[in-house]
Structure 1
Amino acid sequence: MIKYFLLQVILGFCLPALLFAESVTLKSGKRMEGKILEETDQYIKIEVDGRAVYYERRHIANIEAIPQETVTVPQDEALLTDTDYLKEGLKYGAEARFEEAEEALKKGLAVKADAHNLKEVLKLINQLKSGSVKQAYALHMFKGSNYLMNRQFEEAIPEFQTALKIDPNPDLYYYLGVCSYSLEQYRQAIDYLEKAAAEIKDDNEIYYNLGISHYALRQYPQAVGYLKKALEIDPQDADSYGVLGTCHLILGERKSAKEELSKSIELFRKQGDYLKASDVETFLKQIN
């Protein structure tokens, strides 16, 4: 399963070539201006007052960017990241240029050998080569994934729906859930994600995303149940602890909330994500 991170509104934590960000607004209401130095599907790196700061995309409400010049892909391969190669591979695949897609994906793995998404897309290429999946299915998967990677959620949905008709792969319900959530269609997202969870029992991200979808609908007890399930599968999931603590705070369970938020801070620090740890710590201080 290709992993995508959903936009979501909790705590206010925070695709590529150099852009000038006229205004970057976080969902916490914080605004800043500066140059976007790097973007992936998970975060942006922005230069603010002479220093580089990272923000996760799911905690960004809006980016108004003005191109400095025509955006071009770097020609020096030494400058390309694994995410650049993933995007290149998805683009080639969406054009049915599967050999070129395979080449780009392998270059990406040479940059980062443990890149999960590169491995998953390359697996699809190998299945296509072996004849275990139909070309039509692979093409719709590539088109949908390419749209999703570029945050074109409305365009991605019909591609995944068509792929689902060809092959009822439960991963597709996850992708459709991601798209629906990103379009703020939370009930539809829950429907898709529940179908994914019924078939895929051990993926904490499905349960995490179910949790934040219920959170978005202010269905906090349901969110708590799914977030606890996510933590049963992955006890090191700092994000789940953060959202779980927020739910318990809203439900008036302050002791549990403080314990879970403290655990979130501990795990973020352990993982080297000091920006998120700082954000949760600031939030925790406000409720003490």
Structure 2
Amino acid sequence: MTHAEPSTRPEAEAWFLAHGLPYFVDPIREQVRRRLARGRLLVVAAVGLLLAVPVGLTAGWLVHRAELDGAVSTGVATGGTVLVLVAAVYAARALRVHLIGAWAVRQTLASLGLLFPLATRALPMLLLFVTFLFINTEVWMVASALDGGILWGAVMLFAAVAVGFLVVRLVEEVDRLDDEIGRDELGDDADVVGLQRTNLVLVLLITQAFQVLLLALAVFAFFIVFGAVAMKPEVLESWIGDDLTYVWGIRPISLELVQVSTFQAAFSGLYFAVYAVTDETYRREFFSEVLGELEQALRVRVRYLRG
């Protein structure tokens, strides 16, 4: 965030929007509150189901028609993905989450320097563990036997657990930071509650989730390259008990290699999420930056409320 603080109410509203804090703007917060009403959410859920059911059935039917395994799991996974996408689109547009996400992504890219120390601390032990799993026969047998629907469901499960863990810890961090910042000078005006508190949690959540995604993609790329270079097709075929499948015609990157690498990357993402909020050094570095930004946001908010 910049150090220059706005002096007028319109400038403060523009500042909030530019810094991923749309719920700090009174008119937007009231709009979002109305759009979170039960009736609105039921309509969104109904639209999601109306789209998810036929899309899921179509996906399952196509898999069944192609005489491939996993028609049911593919249909369920596809339908679930459509539901998630409908919810994401509604959140992004109607609830203004795209403003929060855009700022969080920019902030993550601007602070990649914090990501490298985290990677150097977390990756060595993780790579030792997952590399051992990668060259394990049973892991290849299990992961390669998963059809697309089940594999995608497993990835979504890892992601849901990671997000749940991050939310719990980040809510605690926001409350702690809120208690520390500006209490002597600002008094009760420093309290952040309701949607404004949710806004701060979302900023931290999207920032850390994007960092976790980058590290998981790095692990995925590592195993794709490692598997293509070091793993002989004859050995892999003996492990899985069948011929390798080259869906894209790109040898030696087989479908089975992509499946195993995806599974390993999803597990690594969960590990990174846990590590990011439990590693004291990273938390100190990450939240020391957030502390200054949050203090500035609270000062702008107090001036906005008093204006």
Q: TM-score range by the shorter chain?
A: under 0.3
Relative contact order higher in (CA < 8 Å, ≥ 6 apart): 2
Q: Which one has a larger percent helix, Structure 1 or Structure 2?
A: 2
- Which structure's CA Rg is the greater one? 2
**Could you tell me the TM-score, scaled by structure 1's length?**
0.23
**Could you tell me the TM-score, scaled by structure 2's length?**
0.22
Q: Which one has a larger percent strand, Structure 1 or Structure 2?
A: 1
